[in-house]
């Protein structure tokens, strides 16, 4: 199954492998993509990844959440991204731009000393209390997201992924832990999802009905007793499908909850695919393709996720940092497990890189 094609909103993807969004720390400080970023994506494309999702790209300067993060807040980024999408399209590979606003997890700078969020809920991991957004700020943010979608299309991205996971702004609107609003942007699941449906509506005005918009959403915030829960995440997925999203990637965790998103110590099959049960619940509730991410390491587990109905596609981050040619190794060279040991040393401000191997972008891993 892993090597059979699939369609997302009419776009044919050559196999079931996605490179999940991975911040590369390979942009200029103002968010301009570099040649090194294009090199990395071209390598993944050359090694037959079906769909590449870029690192998270911020839609406005107050929504920046990391050094050397990709930007998509100005039309001046369209041309440099266009060079990258053209490089990827020389191969049988599709590419999506992931777009984000950092929200309460945004960088604190002298220009932007207080991050924005749905409600002023202190982040215990950073000690920062964000400012609750007023309606005008919400409407401006919706416009910024929609303009980013327009730019993504103009730059030749095949689709765009709204980042609704990991505690960033849109994720924090969905979560009852971080969204305590009592107006129509908070309260019911429908109200907490309202900002996203508005972004999709406005984007449609700019890019038309057919441009594919997918999402990466949290199925859990990672807290035991509060935050997003399983029945609610299914409801969110249903609402997103109704709003017209073409695929749903299922993840989890916010920074306050610790290492939920990229878990360490995935050294046995039983520890792999740690969001699989959420993915299956969502898959049973929607008709659009569901994508599973998180701790996928062995080919057999990946195949099982698809054949047993947990997901339609598998999405990998850390394994493709260590082995950008992993898909080819699985398909043609008899390999059955990624070498990634889930140590998380690839979170590297000098440029994403596996600390265990010398090979880097552009080289075969074995
Ligand atoms: C270095 C690094 C950067 C990441 N950056 C992003 C990002 O920009 N956007 C995103 O949605 N997830 C990001 N993630 C999370 C991954 O997409 C993925 O959800 C997580 O690592 C679990 O998958 P894995 O076990 O295949 O690594 C990042 C992960 C790593 C390791």
Give 364's DSSP letter. -
pLDDT score at 364: 62
Instruction: Please name the residue that has the structure tokens 């969004």.
Output: 21
The gap between the terminal CA atoms of the chain, to the nearest Å, is 25
The Å distance, Cα 199 to ligand 1 centre, comes to 23
Q: How far is CA 5 from CA 12, 18, 155, 337, in A?
A: 7, 12, 25, 21
Q: 33 in helix, strand or coil? A: strand
In 3-state terms, what secondary structure has residue 146?
helix
CATH architecture for segment(s) 6-332: Alpha-Beta Barrel (3.20)
User: CA nearest 160: which of 143, 171, 175, 148?
Assistant: 148
Q: Which regions of the chain does DSSP assign to beta strands (E)? A: 6-8, 11-13, 17-19, 51-53, 57-58, 70-71, 94-100, 116-117, 131-132, 159-164, 213-218, 248-251, 290-293, 313-316
**Average of per-residue pLDDT across 47-62:** 98
Name the pTM for this structure.
Answer: 0.97
- Residue 116 pLDDT greater than 80, yes or no: yes
| 8: three-class secondary structure by DSSP | strand
Reply yes or no on whether the pLDDT at 238 is more than 70.
yes
Half-sphere exposure of 222 (CA within 13 A, CB side): 21
The percent of residues above 90 in pLDDT, for the chain, comes to 94
Residue of minimum CA distance from atom 2 in ligand 1: 22
What distance in angstroms lies between residue 61's CA and the mean position of ligand 1's atoms?
22
Atom number of ligand 1 nearest to Cα 216: 11
Residues in the chain: 366
Selection from 265, 1, 219, 221 nearest residue 121 by Cα: 221
Q: Which of 17, 18, 19, 20 to mutate to test the pocket of ligand 1 (most atoms within 8 A of CB)?
A: 20
- Over range 250-267, report the average pLDDT: 95
Of 135-139, 164-168, 217-221, 360-364, give the lowest mean pLDDT range: 360-364
- Using an 8 Å Cβ cutoff, are 301 and 293 in contact? no
Quick count: other Cβ atoms within 10 Å of Cβ 281? 18
Find the mean pLDDT for residues 113-141: 97
User: Does pLDDT of 366 surpass 60?
Assistant: no
Secondary structure class of 124 (helix, strand, coil)? coil
Average pLDDT score over residue span 297-315: 98
pLDDT at 70 exceeding the cut of 90: yes
d(CA 252, CA 217): 7
- Are 302 and 2 contacting, i.e. CB atoms less than 8 angstroms apart? yes
Find the 317 Cα to ligand 1 centroid distance in Å.
5
CA 182 – ligand 1 centroid, Å: 32
Relative to the CA of 320, which ligand 1 atom is closest?
Answer: 26
Q: Which ligand 1 atom is nearest residue 346's CA?
A: 1
Ligand 1 centroid from CA 335, angstroms: 23
Nearest-atom number in ligand 1 for the CA of 315 is 26
Which pLDDT band, with edges at 50, 70 and 90, does 230 fall under? confident
pLDDT score of 21 more than 90: yes
**Band of pLDDT at residue 229, cut at 50, 70 and 90:** confident
Kindly list the domain boundaries of the chain, sorted by start residue: 6-332
pLDDT band at residue 170, thresholds of 50, 70 and 90? very high
Contact between residue 165 and residue 171 where contact means Cβ atoms under 8 Å apart: yes
359 pLDDT more than 70? no
Ligand 1 centroid distance, CA of 184 (Å)? 32
Percent of the chain with pLDDT over 70: 97
List the single range of 149-158, 222-231, 343-352 with lowest mean pLDDT: 222-231
Decide: 314 and 298 in contact? Cβ < 8 Å: no
Ligand 1 centroid to residue 69 C-alpha, Å: 14
Report pLDDT digits (tens) over 201-216: 999 999 999 999 999 9
For ligand 1, atom 13: residue with the closest CA: 22
pLDDT for the residue numbered 172: 97
Q: Give the mean pLDDT of the chain.
A: 96
Q: Is the pLDDT of residue 175 over 80?
A: yes
Question: Residue 316 CA: which ligand 1 atom is closest?
Answer: 26
CB 294 within 8 A of CB 273: yes
Q: What is the dihedral of CA 74, 79, 84, 90, to 10 degrees?
A: 140
Beta bridge partners of 131: 116
Q: Write the residue with the smallest CA distance to atom 28 of ligand 1.
A: 22
Q: Is the dihedral of CA 174, 176, 178, 182 positive or negative?
A: positive
- Give the binding-site residues of ligand 1, using a 6 Å CB cut-off: 20-23, 55-56, 98, 163, 165-166, 216, 251, 261-262, 293-296, 316-319, 346-347, 352
- 316 CA to centre of ligand 1 in angstroms: 8
Q: Return the best residue to mutate from 41, 294, 317 for the ligand 1 pocket (most ligand atoms within 8 A of CB).
A: 317
Average pLDDT over residues 250-273: 96
In this structure, the residue with its CA closest to atom 12 of ligand 1 is: 21
E strands within 219-295?
Answer: 248-251, 290-293
Residue 338 Cα to ligand 1 midpoint, Å, equals: 16
Average pLDDT over residues 230-235: 92
C-alpha of residue 257 to centroid of ligand 1, in Å: 16
């Amino acid at each position: 199954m892993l090597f059979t094609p699939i369609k997302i909103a009419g776009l044919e993807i050559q196999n079931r492998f996605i490179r999940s969004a991975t911040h590369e720390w390979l942009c200029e400080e103002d968010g301009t993509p570099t040649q090194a970023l294009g090199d990395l994506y071209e390598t993944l494309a050359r090694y037959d990844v079906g769909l590449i999702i870029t690192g998270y790209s911020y839609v406005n300067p107050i929504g920046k959440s990391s050094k050397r993060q990709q930007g998509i807040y100005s039309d001046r980024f369209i041309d440099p991204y266009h060079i990258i999408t053209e490089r990827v399209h020389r191969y049988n590979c599709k590419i999506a731009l992931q777009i984000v606003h950092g929200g309460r997890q945004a960088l604190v700078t002298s220009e932007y000393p207080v991050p924005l969020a749905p409600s002023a809920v202190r982040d215990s991991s950073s000690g920062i209390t964000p400012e609750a957004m007023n309606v005008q700020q919400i409407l401006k943010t919706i416009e910024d997201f929609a303009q980013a979608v327009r730019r993504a299309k103009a730059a030749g991205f095949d689709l765009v992924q709204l980042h609704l996971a990991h505690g960033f702004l849109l994720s924090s609107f969905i979560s009852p832990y971080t969204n305590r609003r009592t107006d129509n942007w908070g309260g019911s699941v429908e109200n907490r999802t309202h900002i996203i449906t508005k972004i999709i509506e406005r984007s449609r005005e700019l890019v038309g009905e057919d441009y594919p918009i997918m999402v990466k959403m949290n199925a859990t915030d990672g807290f035991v007793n509060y935050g997003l829960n399983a029945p609610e995440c299914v409801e969110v997925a249903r609402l997103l499908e109704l709003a017209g999203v073409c695929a749903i990637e299922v993840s989890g965790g916010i920074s306050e909850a610790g290492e939920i998103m990229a878990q360490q110590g995935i050294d046995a099959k039983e520890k792999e695919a740690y969001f699989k049960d959420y993915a299956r619940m969502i898959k049973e509730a929607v008709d659009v393709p569901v994508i599973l991410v998180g701790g996928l390491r062995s080919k057999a587990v990946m195949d099982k996720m698809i054949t047993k109905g947990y997901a339609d596609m598998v999405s990998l981050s850390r394994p493709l940092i260590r082995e950008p040619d992993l898909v080819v190794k699985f398909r043609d060279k008899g390999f059955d497990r990624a070498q990634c040991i889930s140590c998380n040393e690839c979170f590297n401000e000098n440029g994403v890189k596996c600390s265990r191997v010398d090979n880097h972008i552009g080289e075969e891993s074995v």
